A = this chain, B = another copy of it.
Amino acid sequence: MRKISDSTIRRLSLYLRFLEQATTQGRTTISSGELAKLGGTTSAQVRKDLSFFGSFGKRGLGYTVPELASRIRDILGLQRGYRVVLVGAGRMGGALVQYQGFKQRGFHIAAIYDQDARKIGSRWNGLVVRDVRHLETDLKKERSDIAIVATPADSAQQVVDRLVRCGVKAILNFAPVPLAVPPDVRVKHVNMALELETLSYALANR
């Protein structure tokens, strides 16, 4: 399959969000121009993004809302659900566990792990924090494709190594460190200080 840019994938996620909103508003059809306006882009961009995967619209009419939503879910692989394990029961971990946005999109946090004896056994949003030592045995019983790493920086790499050995293929990393993984494992970094720094740059240069 042709290489699709990350920006295209991110925009598709956005379009999907707008389509879901349009659905709750009872809209049945939507044009590339409307999606573009919502997403802060152009109609040509929307059509191009979609064209990499097929032609889902009707000329003169636009796109059928539920159909396009379903197609985008297919493209993004969201029709299946994902078991997600979360390592690191700090504040960030706690915020992520109860974040509704994950569940809504089919990402189900199945377990939380931590090292800290004081946290192990405590309940987070109905889930009991487990000792990270159980990671391997648990993942052998029930595989996970996706892990969220929200540990301190200095234990992130070691946790990731273990996750990779357990067959985890995608990692959302909140620890502010680069991670080494085999080429078949995908890592996405979320670094909030870095985001603020881009804002700082924008403020300093006007």
B96 touches A146 (CB 8 A): no
Interface residue from B145, B191, B199 paired with A186 (Cβ < 8 Å): B199
Q: Which 6 A-B pairs have the closest CB atoms?
A: A77-B204, A101-B193, A170-B199, A91-B95, A95-B95, A186-B202
Question: Which residue from chain B places its CB closest to the CB of A188 in the assembled complex?
Answer: B195
Q: A4-B205, A78-B197, A91-B98 are in contact. List 10 more A-B contacts (CB 8 A).
A: A6-B198, A10-B194, A10-B198, A13-B194, A82-B200, A91-B99, A94-B95, A146-B196, A170-B200, A188-B198
State the interface size on chain A (CB cutoff 8 A): 60
A interface residues with partner B (beta carbon < 8 Å):
1, 4, 6, 9-10, 12-14, 16-17, 38-40, 75-78, 82, 84, 90-92, 94-96, 98-99, 101-102, 104-105, 107, 145-146, 169-172, 176, 178, 184, 186, 188, 190-206
B residues near A38, Cβ cutoff 8 Å? 178
Say whether, besides A76-B204, A194-B10, A194-B14, A199 and B146 are in contact (CB < 8 Å). Answer: yes
- Bound form: Cα–Cα A75–B196 in Å: 14
Q: Using Cβ atoms and an 8 Å threshold, which residues of chain B touch A196?
A: 82, 84, 102, 105, 107, 146, 172, 188
- CB distance B193 to A102 under 8 Å? yes
Select which of B91, B146, B188, B193 is within 8 A of A107 by beta carbon: B193
Contact at A102–B170, with CB atoms within 8 Å?
A: no
Please tell me which one of the listed residues B172, B199, B205 contacts residue A199 in the complex, with CB atoms under 8 A apart: B172
Q: Provide the residues of chain B in CB contact with A98, threshold 8 Å.
A: 91
Are A192 and B194 neighbours in the complex by a CB distance under 8 Å?
no
Whether A78 contacts B200 by the Cβ 8 Å rule is yes
B77 touching A201, Cβ below 8 Å: yes
B201 touches A76 (CB 8 A): yes
Chain B residues, CB < 8 A from A146:
196, 199-200, 203
